[in-house]
Amino acid sequence: MSLITTLREQRQKTWVQAREILDGAAREKRDMNAVEETSWQTAMTDLDQIDQRIAQLEGQEQRSRDTEQAFAALGIDVPTNRSLSSVEADVDLAFRNAILNKDRRPIVVNPSAPASSAATS
């Protein structure tokens, strides 16, 4: 189940609970008491937060779809979260270390060398 679906279900449950508070006071033909008012306000705040998170996730999904379409239009395979080979992992580590240490020396890549000496910084 996707996070968006889970959030929508949570939103529905929160709305039902808030509605029960409101309906209870209406059935008794009275205003909400302090506890009900606090619960109502909390539920409304929760609904707003859930709505914002759903909108954020939907925006991320749309950007992902747009990116995939742009890559497809260019005839390029969409990048994936694939595992790195040992050589790629070594180069990645060397690159990250060089950045973190502000090291300006070039990173030497030798794909034919054993993985332990493929990347040096």
The predicted-structure confidence for 16-29, as pLDDT tens digits, reads as follows 999 999 999 999 99
Same domain as 90, residue 63: no
Domain that holds residue 99: 86-120
Give the position of tokens 């033909």. 29
Position 18 in a domain:
yes
Same domain as 101, residue 56: no
Q: Percent of the chain at pLDDT above 70?
A: 84
Q: Please classify residue 113 by burial: count the beta carbons closer than 10 Å to its beta carbon, then call 0-12 exposed, 13-18 middle and 19+ buried.
A: middle
Average pLDDT over residues 62-91: 80
The whole-angstrom distance between residue 58's C-alpha and the CA centroid of its chain comes to 10
Position 81 in a domain:
no
Position 79 in a domain:
no
Tell me, what's the pLDDT at 35?
Answer: 96
Tell me, what's the pLDDT at 15?
Answer: 97
The neighbouring-strand residues paired with 119 are 109
Given a contact cutoff of 8 angstroms between Cβ atoms, the answer to whether 78 and 72 are in contact is yes
Binned at pLDDT 50, 70 and 90, residue 82 comes out as low
Position 80 in a domain:
no
Tell me, what's the pLDDT at 113?
Answer: 53
Q: Give the angle subtended at the CA of 77 by the CAs of 72 and 82, to the nearest 5°.
A: 140
Same domain as 54, residue 95: no
Same domain as 70, residue 11: yes
Same domain as 9, residue 57: yes
Nearest partner of 106 among 88, 120, 92, judged by Cα:
120
Tell me, what's the pLDDT at 115?
Answer: 46
